[in-house]
Amino acid sequence: NPVLVPVLGDQLTRTLASLRERTKDDTVILMMEVWDEATYVKHHKQKIALIFSAMRHFAAELEDAGWTVDYVTLTDEDNSHSFSGEVARAIERHDPRSLHVVEAGEWRVQQAIEEWPDKFACEVEILPDDRFICSHAEFREWAEDRKHLTMEHFYREMRRKTGLLMRSDGKPEGGDWNYDKMNREPPDGDMDAPARPLFKPDAITQQCIALVEDRFGDHFGSLESFGWPVTRDEAEKAADAFFAERIEKFGPYQDAMVHGEDDLYHSMLSTSINCGLLDTLELCRRAEEAYEKGKAPINSVEGFIRQIIGWREFVRGFYWYNMPGLQSDNELGAHRPLPEFFWTGETDMRCLSDCIRSTRDNAHAHHIQRLMVLGNFCLIAGIDPRAVQDWYLVVYADAYEWVELPNVSAMILYADGGELATKPYAASGNYINKMSDYCGECRYSVSRKTGEDACPFNPLYWHFMERHRDTLKSNHRIGRIYATWDRMEDDRKRDYLDTAQEFLDRLEPASKGWARDYQ
Ligand code: FAD
Ligand code: DLZ
Ligand code: SF4
């Protein structure tokens, strides 16, 4: 009897722990396209097409290499449309002596997997996902006795562990651990960043696109510009282009935003990394090599490595350390529904409409757009964390709950009460104006603070600060801002609060029921 190895849609890695030790002649690999996964939130069409196409390509590659793959398509008449249902059916088909599965990325799926040993007659082995640098146990040990979980401290541990950008005397390369201060250049003209490679859909991808149009036609987003890598080869080519053409300026312009420029100098590799097509440590070593060869400055290379072995590993550890509570945290008691324009892009706020357009067209927006435009708006307008969580999980092709939720709940919304971020990332229009070219042609005036034409971020900022005074005044990183507010005349304060309230009252709530059922 064979060993059955289910491989999930974000486990498309040849060296996956469950595959590494197996031999081809006594293993059946199970891959399943299931309705439950495609609709537990109504994912962006590009995300479903990407995962299905990457899964089908991965299965074909395994078969070419001599593996036995049992692949259940979405349209298979007997498909039960859940992972557990499909594993049960596969056990009937293959009568395996045991089942080896790598733990799931998402809590929801892991809950189901943990029922398998009781549910199924064969032996079930759940293996750790060692594609991550920090294991759950290691993160727990690091986090347990700390009052505050500071990414920077965790990141230094990961630098030591991996040896990335470390000198032989144990000191960080270049003398500093972090060059974040050199990662904040505003845009310089229209930037003219080299375009990332787009991969023309082959026959398999075209079939997936047609399937998605047919079955998930009412989901958000456009499929027209689909060009994501769907194989490891393509993902490697995308990485090659980043290391050859964009990493040099990645660091300085990491926080810059330019209207209509959707990629700038970002790697655009998250969709490939997250479904398993690229290995993070290999990418970091390539970045380090670019530095050693003088092809990229330290602030670009350290910045890239920090995002991956710092932020990415940190949010994954944070997620598992705080689940399931993180889903329902709402420290600031935010209950406003998501505005309709998050789905349509129809708003006069030029920054938001550009970020939402990119999100709709590419299933992508870069970090600072997610954080300081979309996220900042949700924070200061007091949008319900669950509505925001669902939106981010739906709209990005790289979105999996383990990475989306900490970024949304803890990083942008302060819904965890400041465990991850030391202060809420609230900002007025001034920040967006400094870091982008959005404001010049906006219908609102970024220099106006109150009244009809004022940039809405300006009054909303003070409305937010005033609303949460009791919670935030003692925060040493933000509390002193109240001195500025307190110095204002009462009439001025009233103008700010009235302008913000009028804006909030005019917001049209989202009409569609996109949200998932939380149990
Ligand atoms: P680059 O700018 O080139 O960065 C390199 C890599 O670093 C990324 O590919 C990614 O793997 C990693 N990275 C960077 N920032 C983060 C971060 N904050 N958390 C985790 N990894 C990071 N990233 C996701 O992969 N999936 C998500 O669902 C997701 N949701 C987000 C939601 C919000 C509110 C915010 C503020 C950020 C979110 N991010 C998410 C992080 C980040 O925005 C994306 O990883 C990045 O935009 C992907 O584009 P890129 O590959 O060009 O990244
Ligand atoms: C995102 C996604 C989608 C849309 N569909 C599938 C699918 O049909 N089959 C599958 O194996 N994986 C899919 N995925 C990715 C999974 O949601 C992801 O592997 C889990 O959430 C990880 O816990
Ligand atoms: Fe955005 Fe305000 Fe600038 Fe308009 S003026 S683009 S709303 S920050």
Instruction: Using most ligand atoms within 8 A of CB, pick from 407, 408, 409 the residue to mutate for ligand 1.
Output: 407
Q: What is the residue whose two structure tokens read 């003070």?
A: 462
pLDDT reported for residue 513: 56
Is the CB of residue 272 below 6 angstroms from any atom belonging to ligand 1? no
Residue 184: how many other CB atoms lie within 10 Å = 16
Is the CB of residue 444 below 6 angstroms from any atom belonging to ligand 3? yes
CA 259 – CA 436 distance, rounded (Å):
8
Residue 452 lies in a domain: yes
Residue 449 lies in a domain: yes
Report the CATH number that the domain containing residue 288 is assigned in CATH: 1.25.40.80
pLDDT reported for residue 392: 98
126 has which bridge partners? Answer: 101
Task: At 393, list the tokens.
Answer: 């999980």
Determine the Cα angle at 337 with ends 347 and 415, to 5°.
Answer: 110
| Ligand 2 neighbours by CB, cut-off 6 Å | 8-10, 32-34, 37-38, 43, 48, 51, 104-106, 109, 400
pLDDT reported for residue 516: 60
Query: Are both 312 and 224 inside the same structural domain?
Result: yes
Contact 362, 225 (CB under 8 A): yes
| Strands of the sheet with 98-102, listed across from one edge | 68-72, 27-32, 3-6, 98-102, 123-127
Instruction: Using most ligand atoms within 8 A of CB, pick from 373, 441, 446 the residue to mutate for ligand 3.
Output: 446
Report the CATH number that the domain containing residue 467 is assigned in CATH: 1.10.579.10
Nearest of 390, 395, 416 to residue 516 by alpha carbon: 390
10-residue block means of pLDDT along the chain (519 residues)? 98 98 96 96 97 98 98 98 98 98 98 98 98 97 92 97 97 95 89 93 98 96 97 98 97 96 96 98 98 97 98 98 96 97 97 98 97 98 97 98 98 94 93 97 98 98 97 88 95 98 97 58
Give the position, in ligand 1's atom list, of the atom nearest the Cα of 393.
28
Report the CATH number that the domain containing residue 85 is assigned in CATH: 3.40.50.620
pLDDT reported for residue 519: 38
Query: Are both 367 and 501 inside the same structural domain?
Result: yes
Residue 515 lies in a domain: no
Query: Are both 267 and 295 inside the same structural domain?
Result: yes
Q: Which of 109, 127, 145 represents a domain boundary (last residue)?
A: 127
Residue 297 lies in a domain: yes
pLDDT reported for residue 192: 84
Residue 512 lies in a domain: no
Is the CB of residue 412 below 6 angstroms from any atom belonging to ligand 1? yes
pLDDT reported for residue 438: 98
ipTM of the complex: 0.99
Determine the Cα angle at 514 with ends 509 and 517, to 5°.
Answer: 115
Is the CB of residue 326 below 6 angstroms from any atom belonging to ligand 1? no
Nearest of 288, 243, 292 to residue 268 by alpha carbon: 243
Alpha helices in 323-384 (DSSP H): 341-344, 350-362, 367-368, 376-381
Query: Are both 165 and 105 inside the same structural domain?
Result: no
Q: Which ligand is nearest to the CA of 403?
A: 1
CA 211 – CA 220 distance, rounded (Å):
15
The SS3 call for residue 284 is: helix
Residue 333 lies in a domain: no
454 phi/psi in degrees, rounded to 5: -70, 140
Residue 517 lies in a domain: no
pLDDT reported for residue 279: 98
CA 206 – CA 211 distance, rounded (Å):
9
Query: Are both 269 and 154 inside the same structural domain?
Result: yes
Query: Are both 307 and 392 inside the same structural domain?
Result: no
Contact 46, 95 (CB under 8 A): no
Query: Are both 146 and 65 inside the same structural domain?
Result: no
Q: Which of 268, 291, 322 represents a domain boundary (last residue)?
A: 322
Query: Are both 254 and 401 inside the same structural domain?
Result: no
Query: Are both 238 and 351 inside the same structural domain?
Result: no
Q: Which of 261, 295, 322 represents a domain boundary (last residue)?
A: 322
Residue 454 lies in a domain: yes
- Please give the tally of structural domains in the chain: 3
CA 418 – CA 57 distance, rounded (Å):
42
Where in the sequence is the domain holding 177, given as residue range(s)?
136-322
* C-alpha distance from residue 101 to each of 34, 95, 107 (Å): 17, 16, 15
Instruction: Using most ligand atoms within 8 A of CB, pick from 180, 243, 270 the residue to mutate for ligand 1.
Output: 270
Query: Are both 442 and 410 inside the same structural domain?
Result: yes
Residue of the nearest CA to atom 43 in ligand 1?
A: 367
* C-alpha distance from residue 156 to each of 160, 178, 464 (Å): 6, 9, 34
Task: At 103, list the tokens.
Answer: 């733990």
The answer to whether the peptide bond before residue 324 is cis (omega within 30 degrees of 0) is: yes
Q: Output the CA 377–ligand 3 centroid distance in Å.
A: 11
Q: Which ligand is nearest to the CA of 257?
A: 3
Query: Are both 294 and 358 inside the same structural domain?
Result: no
Query: Are both 149 and 296 inside the same structural domain?
Result: yes
Is the CB of residue 407 below 6 angstroms from any atom belonging to ligand 1? yes
Residue of the nearest CA to atom 3 in ligand 3?
A: 439
Is the CB of residue 432 below 6 angstroms from any atom belonging to ligand 3? yes
Q: Output the CA 399–ligand 1 centroid distance in Å.
A: 9
